[in-house]
Amino acid sequence: MSLATDEKLRAAARRLATRLVLDLARRGAVRSRGVGRLRRVNAEQGGELDLDASLPALLDATVDRRPPRIDELIARQWGRPEVALCLLIDTSGSMTGRRLASAALTAAACAWRSPGEHAVVSFARKAEVIRPLWSVRSRADVVDSVLGLRGHGVTALATALREASRQLATSRAARRVVVLLSDCRATDDEDPLPAARSCAELVILAPADDCAEAAGFARRTGARWRPLPGPAAAPAALAELLDRS
């Protein structure tokens, strides 16, 4: 996809990610109404420019002798906390080919359309943070990293879920959701159930052709889940999972 030799294929992958429109910020019921406060958001969402937070992007643009892109800049605005997401992308050996492509494109679309407070983590034997919850990394860079993932190794599901909880622990949002893109087949020696049950809210998107393990895992942990036949099904599946009463 994005790391393919064919430049047209790389461009097509990025375009598809941006067209999977996922309006997640106001879906679902929050656990408390929260308090209005000053928060950092991507400058695309409006507000006053946060010069301190935007300084790295401004310096990079100056060095490159170009104007900064708006998706690189951070703004401040008053508002109520809404929802924070941590996307967990399974890149183990069982998530190769079409499965990983669907998960990667779904996560890329989330990164492009999600609220300001979101993290992206890939995992196999170890969890690798692609985007921390508080980051000025541009969405384009995040999308390219996600679309360049390759599947290999064991599935350390407990490790990934603990990292997701750590990422969301600093969030100011009233609702903190872990979105797990995986077949949920843990292949290391650690039971992932305690880590899953410690998540404030867990939703799972699993490959439609191999979702029995995910269904059982969701049942044991109280998570909500849906099968994912392909990237085109991601908006409806995520909307259904997140739009709860």
Model confidence at 30, pLDDT cuts 50, 70, 90, reads: very low
End-to-end CA distance of the chain: 37
pTM: 0.70
Transcribe 198-235 into DSSP letters. Answer: TSSSEEEEEETTS-HHHHHHHHHHT-EEEEESSGGGHH
Spacing of C-alpha 28 from chain mean position: 17
Average pLDDT, the chain: 79
161: domain CATH number is 3.40.50.410
Model confidence at 6, pLDDT cuts 50, 70, 90, reads: low
Q: What is the mean pLDDT of residues 146-171?
A: 88
pLDDT of residue 146: 76
**CA–CA separation, 244 and 79 (whole Å):** 22
Residues 59 and 176 in one domain: no
Helix (H) or strand (E) holding 139: helix 139-147
Residues 69 and 108 in one domain: no
Range(s) of the domain holding residue 54 = 37-79
| Percent of residues, the chain, with pLDDT higher than 70 | 75
Q: Is 74 helix (H, G, I), strand (E, B) or coil?
A: strand
Pairing of the two strands 37-42 and 127-131: unpaired
Q: What is the mean pLDDT of residues 85-105?
A: 80
Q: Are 53 and 40 in contact (CB under 8 A)?
A: yes
**CA–CA separation, 18 and 15 (whole Å):** 5
**CA–CA separation, 67 and 103 (whole Å):** 33
Q: Is residue 1 part of a domain?
A: no
Residues 123 and 211 in one domain: yes
Residues 48 and 152 in one domain: no
Q: Please return the burial class of 66, using the count of CB atoms within 10 Å of its CB with bins 0-12, 13-18 and 19+.
A: exposed
Model confidence at 28, pLDDT cuts 50, 70, 90, reads: very low
pLDDT of residue 201: 94
Q: Is residue 2 part of a domain?
A: no
Residue whose pair of structure tokens reads 């407070």 in the numeric block: 117
pLDDT of residue 121: 93
Two structure tokens written together for 176: 């903190």
Residues 57 and 162 in one domain: no
In this model, does residue 196 exceed pLDDT 90? Answer: yes
Cross-strand partners of 203: 179, 224
Residue whose pair of structure tokens reads 């679902």 in the numeric block: 28
Residues 126 and 180 in one domain: yes
**CA–CA separation, 141 and 163 (whole Å):** 21
Model confidence at 222, pLDDT cuts 50, 70, 90, reads: very high
In this model, does residue 17 exceed pLDDT 70? Answer: no
Domains: count for the chain: 2
**CA–CA separation, 166 and 98 (whole Å):** 30
**CA–CA separation, 176 and 164 (whole Å):** 10
